[in-house]
Amino acid sequence: MTSRDNAIESPRLGEPYLLTPGPLTTSYAVKESMLRDWGSWDDDFRAMTAEMRRRLLAMLGQGADDFDCVPMQGSGTFSVEAMLGSFVPRDGKVLVLANGAYGQRTAQTLAYLGRDHVILDKGDYLPPRGDEVAQILADDPAITHVVAIHCETSSGILNPVEEISQVTYAAGRKLLVDSMSAFGAIPLEVAQVRYEALVSSANKCIEGVPGFGFVIARKSELEAAKGNSTSISLDVHAQWATMNKTGQWRFTPPTHVVAAFLEALRAHEAEGGVEGRGARYTRNRDVMVAGLRELGFETLLKDRWLSPIIVTFFCPADPKFVFSEFYDLMKAKGFIIYPGKLTVVESFRIGCIGQMDEHVMRQVIAAAKDTLAEMGVKTATPPARALEERAKLAA
């Protein structure tokens, strides 16, 4: 079977696969759909915006009618900032559940926005659990909102949002979710998990090119958000109200990126929607993790916490292993991997998302094997210190 059987295309000659969590490898059709120009006020483009919003909302499943989708210009962080500044009232208080860079960035964003907040900081990779969230909410009645990171892309951990949602609403508070790197591949159906708003962006699991993000929020929250934002460009209520009235974005939209995204959304549907996309990524992860473990590599996380989005591996203990050299040799073989973000031990990450399937993952394993041999590394076993670190993680 060739990779084409799964409707996955190889990048063009000389173009490496991006084993990164976005920007990622996109299909030729997605790239090709950008080869024309659109007027932002024209009916054609307004129809594209409407179709995009409709398709994204449909991924919420039953109950999606209570929600609306508001695209925002900029990278994903712009949409996170827009969500926080629009839905957290100026006198609100946020509990940020952090276990990596994106949780930390949320706290930093709240500081910029002047919104009161506290952080439950679980370090590099431990998951925030329901019972500890419940305790913090019980101890601090001033907290109005909880922010959770769905997949914390810095370690690849899939955080337990369902558990977090239950305790948040049991305590009468509201949940906002950064589902940037998970939406479209990991279900977040409103009938299953309660939340007020989520954010994601064009260049993650939907496999578009970078240029905008989107906020999906409960209509009642969108109504209530009027006047909360202190930023004109990041005011979700204003963008929503204008878009519903005129069909247009308030300021110059990334027209080509929207066209590419629409093509990506159609491919997403053809693949079987969230379920089909999630299944391919899960297979990518399983094949890649099994193959690299055979070479001696070990994952930072135990299987239960591994997301099908990106996986962190410890660097091998062998002194002949130098990450920058490993990176360059992998790139020369057509694979761009991702440096790690752990503070305690050396690590690297490999993404499972984008236009790749298990056949590509097998090539990644072969490339890693050859690279280790070229470097003179006999086994990829990590240092004992790394495994001690991992033992701290509950099953």
Ligand X SMILES: *Cc1c(COP(=O)(O)O)cnc(C)c1O
What are the structure tokens assigned to 18, written together? 């991006």
* Separation CA 325–CA 253 (nearest Å): 40
Please choose, from the candidates 333, 314, 313, 340, the residue with its C-alpha nearest in 3D space to the C-alpha of residue 373.
333
- Specify the residue, 180 or 190, whose C-beta has the smaller distance to ligand X: 180
Q: Which stretch binds ligand X (CB under 6 A): 70-78, 249-257, 288-296, 325-333?
A: 70-78
What are the structure tokens assigned to 129, written together? 């659990």
Residue nearest to ligand X (CB): 76
Task: Indicate which single residue of 25, 165, 181, 229 sits in contact with ligand X (rule: CB under 6 A).
Answer: 181
- Specify the residue, 115 or 341, whose C-beta has the smaller distance to ligand X: 341
**Should residue 21 be labelled a site residue for ligand X when binding is judged by CB under 6 A?**
yes
Task: Indicate which single residue of 40, 77, 166, 363 sits in contact with ligand X (rule: CB under 6 A).
Answer: 77
* Separation CA 246–CA 11 (nearest Å): 38
Annotated binding-site residue? 349: yes
Least spacing, CB of residue 310 vs ligand X, in Å: 8
* Separation CA 64–CA 62 (nearest Å): 6
- Specify the residue, 162 or 374, whose C-beta has the smaller distance to ligand X: 162
Please choose, from the candidates 266, 271, 186, the residue with its C-alpha nearest in 3D space to the C-alpha of residue 7.
271
* Separation CA 203–CA 29 (nearest Å): 15
How many residues line the site for ligand X (CB under 6 A)?
Answer: 13
* Separation CA 313–CA 375 (nearest Å): 18
- Specify the residue, 210 or 316, whose C-beta has the smaller distance to ligand X: 210
Task: Indicate which single residue of 68, 81, 163, 178 sits in contact with ligand X (rule: CB under 6 A).
Answer: 178
- The footprint of ligand X on residues 197-226 (CB under 6 A) is 201
Task: Indicate which single residue of 11, 71, 76, 127 sits in contact with ligand X (rule: CB under 6 A).
Answer: 76
What are the structure tokens assigned to 140, written together? 């601090």
List, in sequence order, every residue forming a beta bridge with 18; answer none if it has no partner.
336
- Specify the residue, 201 or 371, whose C-beta has the smaller distance to ligand X: 201
The one-letter code for the residue type at 282 is: T
Residue 12 DSSP one-character state: P
- The footprint of ligand X on residues 103-162 (CB under 6 A) is 149, 153
* Separation CA 120–CA 204 (nearest Å): 26
- Specify the residue, 201 or 228, whose C-beta has the smaller distance to ligand X: 201
Q: Which stretch binds ligand X (CB under 6 A): 177-185, 327-335, 339-347, 371-379?
A: 177-185
* Separation CA 83–CA 224 (nearest Å): 13
Least spacing, CB of residue 101 vs ligand X, in Å: 8
Task: Indicate which single residue of 102, 240, 249, 313 sits in contact with ligand X (rule: CB under 6 A).
Answer: 102
Q: Beta-carbon neighbour count of residue 391 at 10 Å?
A: 9
Return binding residues for substrate: 349
List residues near ligand X by CB under 6 A.
21-22, 75-77, 80, 102, 149, 153, 178, 180-181, 201
